[in-house]
Every structure is written in C-alpha cells, then in structure tokens.
Chain A
Amino acid sequence: MTSVESMLSIRMRRHIVDADFDVSLDSPGVTVLFGPSGAGKSTILRCIAGLDRIASGLLALGDQVLDDGERGHVRARHRAVGYMFQDLALFPHLDVAQNVAYGLHALPRPAREARVAEALRSAGVAGFEGRKIGELSGGEAQRVALARTLAPRPRLLLLDEPLSALDAPTRLSLRQELRQLILAAGIPAIIVTHDRDEALSLADRLVVLIDGRVRQIGAPAEVFEHPADRDVARVVGMENTVSATVVGANPGGLLLRVGRRELLARSEPTPVPAGGEVFICIRAGDVGIERPSPDDAATAPANRLACTITMVTEESSIVRIDLDAGFPLIAFVTRRDHAVAGFHIGMSVVGVIEPSALHLVRP
C-alpha cells in the first residue's frame, strides 16, 4: 500500500476538466494521460505545474497542498516540478549550456557546470554546451529540452506531447529511449499524449481522459484490450464498435446477435446475462478478408461473415476497406494483399474475425 506522502492527488475542475485521480510517486514510473485533442490533458498538466490555477478542488503533492482552488497556492517556481513543453520552449537567445543551466541558478558555478555536463551526457547530447539553439536538429533539441528539465532534479516530471514536434523516424527512435532516460533519472513522470503507439510504449499506467473526465485507469495492455466503455474503445483504436444482444453462452464462448448476424466471442471478464445489451469492439487490424469459398462453414469457430465492399481507401502504409456485413465493418489490409486480391467497391468477400478479437463493453 502506498502512503499519503508519496501520492500526487489530483481533484480538480477547470474549464471542461473535472478530473479525480492519484499518481503514485513511490515507484518511479511513467503515467500517461491519454485522450483525444481537446480532452483537457494539457490543462491538467499546467495546473500541476502551477502555470494555471484550478477553479475548485485540491491538488496535493504528498502532504503539501499545491492548490486548493481558493487562496492557497504554491507558486509555480516553488513547486520543483519539471515541465517539458510541447514545442520545447528552449530559449533562442541562449546557448545549450545556458539553457540547461537556467534552472540551476541556486548552485555555485563549478557545481552548475558539472550538472550541465552530466545532464547533457545522460540525455545523449554530451559536448553540446556551446551550440546555438537554432542550429540543433529536432532530435537534438528534444534531448536538450529533456536535459534542461532534468538538470534541477525535480520531484516530478511533466511532459506535454514530448515527441510530437519530431519527424516520424526520429520519433520512433527516441520513443524507447525517452522511457529509458526517464526511468534512469528515477523521477516519476506524467506524460500527455494523444498518440496510441506512444501511450502503449511509454506508459506503466494509463489514464484515459475524454471530454475532461477520467474514463479509465489501468495498465496499458489492460486498457487497450479491455476498454471500459465505447468512447474509450474508440480512442484506443477500436475502429469498429457495434451494439449487440447476448444470445447465450456456448462451449466456444459467448454467442451474440448483431442485426441478423450471429458472432462468437471468447468469454470476457465481465459476463453479460442473456438478452443483455453490449457493445462489440473490434480493431480494424483484426478483421481479415478472404474470397468466398464453398467450405466456409467447416472452418468454424472463427466468425465468417459474407460482406460487400463499400469503400476502398489507400492510406500511407495500409489500405482501409469498408465493408457492409449487415452492419458497418472496417478492415485494414496490407498494400500487397490489396494488390493481389484487387479489392474494389461492390466485391463480395468474407470477413473473418477470431472470437478472441471481439472485445465486449457494457453500454
């Protein structure tokens, strides 16, 4: 059990945000605030940092009240919280060393210089002291910003969309490293992101925020596999959500009816009684497309649905196929499969979904 001293307790209202959750500071790890743009993620981060006040509620770090929504308020500069801005906010008129040393004004000069060198080294930009900010590449600027945030050794790290300013290849290579750097620093971190891959790869714990409210908290795999409701399912990337009625249990799993179709699902942790309403969530990547063959019935227990293609959309690395299976169904196929099969509008195909790919959510 965690003690009160080691919790960041967030109970706050401001604009659309009405959030209530705790972040454990005991075991340094990464909490990801995840949700679509405009969900209020950055607002929460700014309030924790003290850049904005909460309208009501209570923000407390351990036994220190940061903001009580009224008079009581610890100024941002006294909170000892590290904040990395979405666009980094490096000071353009100072060089790299001056940027990193900026938060170390209380240290004597030799200690300050040592700390700057150490922070730059641990962020992977050793020897960059004299560089100008305008001369840094995106990835280098990112590392310098992280070094500047870590150098004063804050008690909590707040990172707002830390990788969004980078081009795709740099983002991929920095993602894992960022997690390692944070863990190595041993400072608990809250990271805000709207990117699913980032949330999955960075988080120890995921807080899903939609329309200003916390909708689910859990381990990333748990949230992504078992979204709490339909909205969470959508933001974690379940492209297909469709309402269904439970028909009953079956040796293979739970039998569900969608319109006139029947689907089989592996039993879920929250069994729903027969006749109950559920939402079925299916990732588009879990829907396979095959050509109709005469021995379809023999290959159960997979769900095989006769479908018609209603739309074909080529995206950057995949092809999205919209299907009419009696209900709308989206599938992703590789470009190669698309080229071989020649999918086109009006084509009759079979949509294949493993029972384990059906995630049930109570409405």
Chain B
Amino acid sequence: MDWQAIGVSVRLALLTTAILLVIAVPLASWLSFSRRRWTVVVEAIVALPLVLPPTVLGYYVLIALGTVSPFGRWWKDLTGATLAFTFTGLLIASVLYSLPFAVQPLLAAFAGVDRRLIDASTVLGRSRAATLWKITLPLSRAGLVTAGVLTFAHTIGEFGVVLMVGGNIPGQTRTVSISVYDSVQSFDYAAAGLTSLALLGFSLLVLTATYALQRRGSLLWSRA
C-alpha cells in the first residue's frame, strides 16, 4: 500500500477543507443575503467546476499558475519558486475545484434559516457579520458539516485536476487516485487493490459518521 500517497491525499483534503470553509462561509452568506443583481453571475462562476471537465479546469489552472500568467510571475517574484507541479499549486487547484461542494450546502442551509431571526438580529443592533456568526451559522450546523465532508471527500477522490496540475511527484503531488492509476498502469494489481480498499473503507467511515452526526444535530434544535 502507498502510505505516502495516502498521506499526501489526506493532507491535501484537510487543508483544502479548512481553506474552503473560511472562503465559502462569507461567500455563501453574501450570495444568500445580497440583493444585488449580479450575484447570479458569481453563483454561476462558483458552480462552474461542477460542469467543466476536470481537464479543462486543470488546463486553465495550470496556465494561471505558470510563469506566463501575471499571478504565476507574482508568485515567483515573491517566493522564488513556481507553482505548477508543487503541493501548493495542487492545493490552489483543489480549492477552486471543490468550491461548489462547499458553497452549495451552505447556500441550502442558509436558505433554511428563518429570515425573521436574521431580521430580529438586525433590529437588535447587530451587524451582518455578527448575525452570521451568532445566528445563521449555528442554525446551519448541518449544512456546515455537509460542506466540510463533501469538500474533503471530493478532494480525496479528485484525479483529473491533480494529473493536469500536480503531475506525479512522490511525497509532493502523488495522491491516492494517481497512485492507484499508476499501479494499474504497471500491472501491479495487488498494490492498486489494497490502496483502493483502504480508500473505500475510509470514505464509507467518514460518510457514515457524518450522517449519524447530522441526524443527531437536527434533532437537537428541532422546535416542539
């Protein structure tokens, strides 16, 4: 079994989830409560990774990370290193790729929060940020957990984007899915089978735990 690849995958998934929750909560809040018309455009952009083939997304990210793009040049000037085929580059790609999986459950959860509670918070003198933190988020806990788990699972399972952006550098960008693919390519079915089984068991465990937690959570705050 490729423990190194499992380590890369888990590290990538945890960091992606952490970064995405920080980005997705304010973004989803803004999409839910803003009355501006062009929110629909932002919503569409956020959902793009759902419909684009991973190779297309990976291609654009690869270009953006390369030294031809302003961002890539800026990063090189700042750190002296390039982003393509590094773990950091892979992390940026993962964040973009999993964005809809973090934002959509939060949007659904925020829509389920009674607007009058948010109005009540406002007339009691609280800012939007305070209302989000004190009212909207605690009442959206199930959505928050779903967003985290989906992002995590989706990142663990990603393949196309990793191949395009990260390549196959052991300990750096070689994730579980790449490792399985590699093993199969070199006819090492035993290694591929073992790694696959580990990933399958782990995914099932995480999902079961999440659904169990969600069911308890929804009962906790249900009103009589």
Contact = CB atoms under 8 A, between A and B. Distances in A.
Given A92-B139, A92-B221, A93-B138, A102 B124 contact: yes
Interface stretch (A59-67, A83-91, A218-226): A83-91
A85 B124 CA distance: 12
Nearest to B222: A134
Interface of B: 114, 116-117, 119-127, 130, 134-135, 138-139, 221, 223-224
Contacts of A152: 124-125
A174 to B, nearest CB: 20
B126 A85 contact: no
B123 A134 contact: no
Interface residues of A, number: 26
A345 interface: no
Nearest to A106: B125
A91 B135 contact: yes
A92 B223 contact: yes
Contacts of B117: 89, 91
Nearest to B120: A89
A77 B126 contact: yes
A148 B123 CA distance: 11
Nearest to B224: A134
Shortest 5 CB-CB distances between A and B: which pairs?
A: A103-B124, A89-B120, A89-B116, A83-B123, A76-B122
A105 interface: yes
Given A91-B135, A93-B221, A85 B119 contact: yes
B139 A49 contact: no
A102 B126 contact: yes
A87 B116 CA distance: 9
A133 B124 CA distance: 18
Contacts of B221: 92-93
A80 interface: yes
Nearest to A151: B124
A85 B116 contact: yes
Contacts of A106: 125
Given A134-B223, A134-B224, A89 B119 contact: yes
Nearest to B128: A77
A227 interface: no
A51 B120 CA distance: 9
A105 to B, nearest CB: 7
A103 B139 contact: no
Contacts of B134: 102
Contacts of A133: 223
A78 B126 CA distance: 9
A50 interface: yes
Interface in A80-113: 80-83, 85, 87, 89-93, 102-103, 105-106
